[in-house]
């Protein structure tokens, strides 16, 4: 079992005729993802890598039965694309686009949660998700991952790849890997996904990759403390970042005493979550956790 998507999930690419949309569509197809259509206004009737292009999401869903969408649309058009996907009834939407104005995204997320509560939005400004060996919905390098039993939730794309690579070297695979995005306002947060992984029988342990800024990690730690029995390891990026300075992601900014690496680390430790001091340590902590879990059966 995988969460959110699997090899049978029918995927639509919004912005398929653009450079990034076309390039990553090809990579997703090579990985085995079931891409059934794409959209690009005014270019309906064309094909990209053998995939039919439609003018609207409504038309594409009606013709292909698409269930999920990946948005590769430029920032100024991305919200229109997002609303179009939601209104067409797609249950899973992954917004890769970076640079959407924060205030506009905040209003969009609030509107979607109220009017379409069953819709799962990943992103924006995210690498998507991958179920190793099944499907790749986004821009993650498929060769880094392998099938296994550890779920990864991350705010950082490159750290996800690094830690997954270290895990594979240690003989550990992944059930589902999700990059939630680095913006201050995102559709799906750590707590939402931890709930899903906690209910997934294939996922035996969790790896959470956080960073400075916001309080998502502290809230995740509290939820883990109260609800999760599976082994969890965490890594927090930005431990040496100066207060008040944005570091990389738009959401990685410390305000006052909240959102610091130390506050997040302390919250996880209080919840019984072991925190890696360096990215490569997460894999070895997980390996020991899974070994202990196996012997306790």
- Other CB atoms closer than 10 Å to residue 255's CB: what's the count? 11
Q: Classify each residue of 3-24 as buried b or exposed e, where b means 16 or more C-beta atoms within 10 Å of its C-beta.
A: bbbeeebbbbbbbbbbeebbeb
Q: Hey, CA dihedral for 82, 84, 86, 91, is it positive or negative?
A: negative
Q: Is 107 a catalytic residue?
A: no
Instruction: Point out the catalytic residue in the list 24, 49, 107, 249.
Output: 249
Q: Which DSSP letter does residue 47 get?
A: E
- Other CB atoms closer than 10 Å to residue 240's CB: what's the count? 8
Beta carbons within 8 Å of 244's beta carbon, 6+ residues apart: 253, 254, 255
Instruction: Please give the positions annotated as active site.
Output: 249
């Amino acid at each position: 079992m995988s969460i959110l998507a699997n090899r049978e999930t029918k995927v639509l690419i919004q912005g398929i005729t653009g450079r990034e949309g076309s390039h990553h569509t090809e990579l997703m197809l090579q990985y085995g993802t079931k891409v059934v259509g794409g959209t690009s206004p005014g270019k309906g009737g064309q094909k990209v890598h053998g995939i039919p292009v439609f003018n609207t999401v409504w038309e594409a869903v009606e013709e292909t039965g698409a269930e999920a969408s990946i948005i590769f649309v430029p920032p100024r058009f991305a919200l229109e694309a997002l609303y179009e996907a939601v209104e067409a009834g797609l249950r899973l939407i992954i917004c890769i686009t970076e640079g959407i104005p924060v205030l506009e995204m905040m209003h969009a997320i609030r509107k979607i949660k109220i009017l379409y509560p069953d819709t799962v939005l990943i992103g924006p400004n995210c690498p998507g998700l991958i179920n190793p060996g099944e499907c790749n919905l986004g821009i993650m390098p498929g060769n880094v991952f392998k099938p296994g039993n550890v779920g990864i939730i991350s705010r950082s794309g490159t750290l996800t790849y690094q830690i997954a690579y270290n895990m594979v070297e240690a003989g550990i695979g992944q059930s589902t890997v999700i990059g939630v995005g680095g913006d201050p306002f995102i559709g799906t947060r750590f707590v939402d996904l931890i709930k899903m992984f906690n209910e997934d029988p294939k996922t035996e342990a969790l790896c959470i990759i956080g960073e400075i800024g916001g309080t998502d990690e502290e809230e995740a730690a509290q939820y883990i403390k109260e609800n999760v029995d599976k082994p969890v390891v965490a890594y927090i990026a930005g431990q040496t970042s100066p207060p008040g300075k944005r570091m990389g992601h738009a959401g990685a900014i410390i305000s006052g005493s909240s959102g610091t690496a130390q506050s997040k680390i302390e919250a996880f430790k209080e919840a019984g979550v072991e925190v890696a001091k360096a990215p490569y340590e997460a894999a070895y902590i997980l390996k020991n956790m899974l070994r202990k879990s196996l012997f306790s059966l």
